[in-house]
A and B are shown apart, each in its own frame.
Chain A
Amino acid sequence: MELNQTSTSKILLSYQGPFIIDELSKFGFLIRSFDFLKSCTKHKLFKVFIELTQNVALYSEERMELKSLAKVGIGSFMIKEYDSYILLETNNRIKKQHGAILANYCIEMNKFTVPELRDLKACKRRHTEEPSTGAHIGLIQICIMSLNPVNYEISEIDNISSSFRVISKINKFYE
């Protein structure tokens, strides 16, 4: 995926911390109130946002215990607006050994067309367990929703952890 990082961008929303569902839903509400975007674009942005952030909530290695004793993932997200597209990125900690597996998922997914991705999703959906890294079917759905390949970056933090940055591009003017 080509990202023209030199063009002017504007940060619409950013957050760093625990990805608690109540907070994510409030951000989702904000996204749906982006009236400067066409209806179809902001609804796609909302769908990709929920999938990407829920991946972090579920699978980030960095976790926080809530009052309910449930644990939620910690990470960050940022939504940037460019002239003709929106970029949505998340960042979270992963186990170092999962980096290569996740990179492989992204590389493989990016080779498929949308119909092929839908077939892949159907195949994965019937499995009752997520692979050990989690997040696979969610990433497939993000590619389908955004109609763009997913961009990713894996950086080593220390001997046991890496950071996993996922960037999804949503084109404007779907309507």
Chain B
Amino acid sequence: MENIIIHTEPSTPYIPEILFDADKGICDLSGESYMEETYKFYLPLIEWIHKYFIDHQTLVFNFKFIYFNTSTSRIIIDLLVMIKEYISKGNQITVNWYYNEDDPDMKDEIQDFIEETGINIIIIKIN
């Protein structure tokens, strides 16, 4: 299964850094996300996750967003609901969310995601 690797470029800071690695069983999402066609960007990532769980049972998500807009937050909700469904089917999925201690807004967002989806997110504060 192919990995997804997307690097943030200086000319497109609104595209996040993505590493979806099937061999290591990790999905890293970091940087900023406020592109215009949000669904178009995230659809391949969602499809990758569906394909991954055909042959795998364990996955770790590491969210390290610095900023995301409301369109992205909708996709994140969809993603977390999907992850929760896979957990309910017996898969082992860990969701870590790293946030900067100088960004209380991000902590509030994470708390809202937990409340809205009922999923367990491990919140990790970084300097």
Contacts and interface: CB of A to CB of B under 8 A. Distances in A.
Contacts of B73: 125
Q: Is the interface of A mostly helix, strand, loop or mixed?
A: helix
Contact of B14 (A25, A40, A43, A47): A25
Contact of A122 (B12, B34, B102, B115): B115
Contacts of B103: 43
Contact of B34 (A43, A50, A145): A50
Contacts of A144: 105
Interface in B5-63: 11-14, 34-36
A145 B77 CA distance: 19
Interface residues of A, number: 26
B36 A57 contact: yes
A51 B115 contact: no
Contacts of A138: 69-70
Given A21-B36, A40-B102, A122 B70 contact: no
Interface string B66-78: 0101110110010
Contacts of B71: 54
Interface string B110-123: 00100110000000
A125 B68 CA distance: 14
Contacts of B115: 122
B2 interface: no
Given A22-B11, A29-B13, A54-B34, A47 B105 contact: yes
Nearest to A128: B74
Nearest to B103: A43
B69 A51 contact: yes
Contacts of A137: 70
Contact of A50 (B67, B77, B102, B116): B67
Contacts of A39: 102
A34 B30 CA distance: 24
A5 to B, nearest CB: 28
Contacts of B35: 21
A45 to B, nearest CB: 12
Contacts of A25: 12-14, 34
13 contacts: A25-B14, A44-B105, A46-B67, A47-B67, A47-B105, A51-B70, A57-B36, A70-B36, A122-B115, A125-B77, A126-B77, A137-B70, A138-B69
Given A21-B35, A28-B13, 10 more contacts: A21-B14, A40-B102, A43-B103, A47-B105, A50-B69, A70-B36, A121-B70, A122-B112, A122-B115, A126-B77
